[in-house]
């Protein structure tokens, strides 16, 4: 068996936290993708934050993540010029795009749960193109 097919919930959380704590760490992208898929059933829903150089890049990353994790696409947004922060709550459908002056780039995935045994944690910055189709 390979590492991906035997990934436990604890393994998935550990991999995601490694990236959250050290952006320079090399993690196999397939394992990172699988880690998000493993934790998703333990969340009521996830909120996405995307830091990108352009609105198009942020919207594309958000679309890839929401598609991969089984969420509805974000509503259309008016694009702005320059680096951006995009936040999307698929539970409420609220989404906004704003200028961003920070240097971080990537996707934050905030897991939400109303239950004690659910996952309530934030992971990222994950690669913008983690779920890009090859």
Tens of pLDDT, residue by residue over 97-109, are 999 999 999 999 9
User: Which of 36, 54, 71, 38 has its CA nearest to residue 105?
Assistant: 54
As a whole number, mean pLDDT of residues 112-133 equals 92
Residue 36 to residues 3, 15, 104: CA-CA distances in angstroms? 15, 10, 20
List the strands of the sheet with 94-99, edge to edge.
Answer: 94-99, 84-89, 45-52, 106-112, 122-126
pTM: predicted TM-score of the whole model, two decimal places: 0.91
For each of the domains in the chain, give its residue range(s) and CATH number, in order of start.
Answer: 9-126 (3.30.360.10)
Question: Residue 23: CA atoms inside 13 Å, Cβ hemisphere, count?
Answer: 11
pLDDT tens digits, residue range 33-56?
A: 999 999 999 999 999 999 999 999
Res 1: pLDDT = 47
Terminus-to-terminus CA distance in the chain, angstroms? 24
Query: Could you tell me what percent of the chain has a pLDDT over 90?
Result: 81
């Amino acid at each position: 068996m390979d590492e991906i097919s035997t990934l436990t919930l604890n393994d998935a959380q550990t991999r995601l936290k490694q990236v959250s704590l050290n952006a320079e760490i090399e993690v196999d992208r397939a394992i990172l993708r699988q880690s998000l898929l493993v934790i998703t059933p333990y969340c009521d829903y996830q909120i996405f934050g995307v830091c990108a150089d352009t609105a198009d890049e942020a919207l594309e990353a958000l679309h890839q993540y929401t598609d991969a994790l089984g969420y509805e696409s974000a509503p259309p947004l008016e694009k702005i010029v320059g680096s951006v922060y995009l936040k999307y709550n698929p539970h409420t459908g609220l989404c906004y795009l704003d200028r961003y002056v920070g240097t971080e780039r990537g996707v934050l995935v905030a897991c939400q749960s109303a239950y004690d045994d659910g996952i309530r944690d934030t992971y990222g910055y994950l690669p913008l193109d983690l779920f890009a189709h090859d």
